[in-house]
Amino acid sequence: MDYKQSGVNIDAGNETVRRIKSLARATFTPGVLSDIGSFGGLFRPDQGRWPHPVLVASADGVGTKLKVAFLAGVHRTVGTDLVNHCVNDILVQGAEPLFFLDYLATGTLAPDTAVEIVAGIAHGCRENGCALLGGETAEMPGFYAAGEYDLAGFIVGAVDRERVIDGSTLQPGDDLVGIPSTGLHTNGYSLARRILFDHLGLSVDSAVAELGCTVGEELLRIHRSYLRAIQPLLERRLVKGMAHITGGGITDNLPRILPAGTAARIDRRAWTAPPVFRFLQQAGDVPVDDMFRTFNMGIGLIVGCGPADTAAVVNSLRAGGETPAVIGEIVPGDRTVTCVT
């Protein structure tokens, strides 16, 4: 008996690495000092860019959005989702992405699928100016169902110590500006799948008039990156705090940046949630509070700023093609979020 008979195909793994090398190399920036296939990735940051550099790191996954990718047979978008999610997580602390690592685990390695996933990751890295420095492809027979895989990403970025954004200067009277999401992003899919597939009996190919597309097209919309929209604000030092609205929605993510003695009040009338959220709420009879704690409700990133800078923040975002809305304010309190109508 040999390793291949036990379910691990080393030749398939080597073929996958061979095919993804060119994808990764296309993302390399001047700081990359190693090639794909090394035991560790080497990166030299530009020491002249940050006088007092602070490294910011984060790790995340795509969650059960992967189930939709399996059903649709579309694997490239989840790779881009992964990169953008990680970029946003360090962006809210003012960091610029330096390099990215991925982890792909599957029961039986299918090189074509793996290459499609990594192509999406490489696309996300190029769009964000981030090097795909390396990663791991694990073949684990008996651990995953046929045709399924798991995907995780790890990012490292940098920010100058004096420009770290942590929300500590937020105070009552400051404004909260919301920037639109592109659908569900990568959160709330367990509930969305239960409503759409189990309760309504729809498939990824089902066309839904209220959505103007198929279920698969709606659920696989890419989790967008906010890097380009936010960079001009960081350069002008207009930002006091930022929250990436992921798992937990606005309700649980916004308190993560609130200093002691403050709270947030959100006006739900300040923006109109995209049709997918209204459809899910009505079809699943989901309580409003649960909607705001499960989904982003059409707001993917919230920027906190002083009232004197609000107009400049909004105008900068609009100049970049965004449609921001002032959705609330900082008030005295105990790090809670109150949504009013």
Q: 139 and 107 in contact (C-beta within 8 Å)?
A: yes
> What per-residue confidence (pLDDT) applies to 14?
80
Choices 3.40.50.720, 3.90.650.10, 1.20.870.10, 3.30.70.1170: CATH for 175-340: 3.90.650.10
pLDDT tens digits for 250-270? Answer: 999 999 999 999 999 999 999
Q: What is the mean pLDDT of the chain?
A: 95
Q: What CATH fold (topology level) applies to the domain 4-163?
A: 60s Ribosomal Protein L30; Chain: A; (3.30.1330)
**Per-domain residue ranges for the chain?**
4-163, 175-340
Contact 104, 114 (CB under 8 A): yes
pLDDT at position 9 over 80? no
The CA-based diameter of the chain, rounded to the nearest angstrom, is 72
Q: What is the structure's pLDDT at 272?
A: 95
The answer to whether domain 4-163 and domain 175-340 are alike in fold is no
Euclidean distance between CA atoms 241 and 238, whole angstroms = 9
> Looking at residue 18, what is its pLDDT?
85
Contacts of 1 (CB under 8 A, 6+ apart): none
Assess whether pLDDT exceeds 70 at residue 3. Answer: no
Residue 1 confidence (pLDDT) above 80: no
pTM score, whole prediction:
0.95
Tens digits of residue pLDDT in 116-141: 999 999 999 999 999 999 999 999 99
Structure confidence by residue, pLDDT tens digits, 276-327? 999 999 999 999 999 999 999 999 999 999 999 999 999 999 999 999 999 9
Determine if residue 188 is left, alpha or beta; phi over 0 gives left, psi from -120 to 50 gives alpha, anything else beta: left
